[in-house]
């Protein structure tokens, strides 16, 4: 049975977890290490860590923080932001990440996807796309880079089609329009990507209730990224999973290592 995943997302800026609305007006929430550990203990299936200013500042990921989190967290970790070279990706994985997420660099250097997939396996490569509605784009959605700051000339759905053969194991769909608004994921965007992609899809941007996650899973998402719900303490991950499972959707269940080691 296909089991869905819940993945807390930690956007990091200046060493702190931060959260904004539509990629703007960010508020700092705290130290990423204890937050990641707390989410892992609460049943997170994976944890995604985005360094949201690394690409703009043209610097590599914060490898020390990755290592600190990996030593305390016993669920898969995905790292995004600032990965410009194979060496950056390799260092992320050797620092404890299971996957790397490529966003801004991918349209400029798609062969990097292939290099990472060839060495570490396709399962280690996540294509992250920041997307906003744009009536001038053929599909109605435009691809953005550099933390949603830079509009590209690429139609988002066309870019997904072109990127897949390079070695994409998963796609994380980040809706700029819905980010942080807690009004629901962009389900039409999810459906448009699902039509052209047969790899697992992670939906991101807009979850405010468990019902929004249920809607996304029923619309074809394999995993749901969440930030606002868990960062604001609206619900625990265990409660979220129980409510979704009660709707007939099979969920992965993680065993807390803290309880095992206690």
Please list the active-site residues.
11, 130
**Half-sphere exposure of residue 236: CA atoms within 13 angstroms, side-chain side:** 8
Residue among 229, 202, 232 at smallest CA distance from 45: 202
Contact 141/132 with Cβ under 8 angstroms? yes
54 φ, ψ (degrees, to nearest 5): -60, -45
Task: Compute the distance between CA of residue 31 and CA of residue 180 in angstroms, rounded to an integer.
Answer: 20
- Residue 36 parent element (H or E): helix 32-41
Radius of gyration in angstroms for the set of CA atoms belonging to the chain, rounded to a whole number: 17
Contact 137/153 with Cβ under 8 angstroms? no
Distances (CA, A) of 252 to 6, 119, 241: 8, 28, 8
Collapsing DSSP to helix, strand or coil, 158 comes out as helix
Contact 187/141 with Cβ under 8 angstroms? no
Contact 13/19 with Cβ under 8 angstroms? no
E strands, the chain, where?
5-13, 16-21, 24-30, 47-51, 77-80, 99-102, 125-133, 141-145, 150-155, 170-175, 201-204, 223-226
């Amino acid at each position: 049975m296909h089991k869905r995943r819940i993945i807390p997302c930690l956007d990091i800026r200046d060493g702190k977890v931060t959260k904004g609305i539509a990629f703007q007006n960010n508020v700092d929430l705290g130290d990423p290490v204890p937050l990641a550990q707390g989410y892992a203990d609460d049943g997170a299936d994976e944890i995604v860590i985005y360094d949201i200013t690394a690409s703009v500042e043209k610097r590599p990921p914060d490898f020390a923080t990755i290592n600190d989190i990996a030593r305390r967290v016993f669920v898969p970790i995905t790292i995004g932001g600032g990965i410009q070279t194979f060496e950056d990706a390799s260092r992320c994985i050797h620092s404890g990440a299971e996957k790397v997420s490529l966003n801004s660099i991918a349209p400029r250097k798609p062969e990097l996807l292939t290099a990472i997939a060839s060495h570490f396996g396709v399962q280690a490569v996540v294509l992250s796309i920041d997307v906003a509605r744009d009536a001038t784009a053929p599909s109605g959605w435009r691809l953005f880079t550099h933390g949603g700051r830079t509009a590209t000339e690429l139609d988002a759905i066309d870019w997904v089609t072109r990127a897949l053969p390079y070695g994409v194991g998963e796609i994380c769909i980040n809706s700029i329009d819905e980010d942080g608004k807690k009004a629901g994921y962009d389900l039409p965007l999810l459906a448009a990507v699902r039509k052209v992609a047969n790899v697992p899809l992670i939906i991101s941007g807009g979850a405010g209730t468990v019902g929004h996650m249920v809607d996304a899973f029923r619309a074809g998402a394999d995993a749901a990224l969440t930030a606002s719900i868990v960062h604001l303490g609206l619900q625990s991950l265990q409660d979220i999973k129980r409510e979704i499972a009660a709707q007939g959707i099979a969920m992965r269940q993680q065993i807390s290592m803290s309880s095992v080691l206690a």
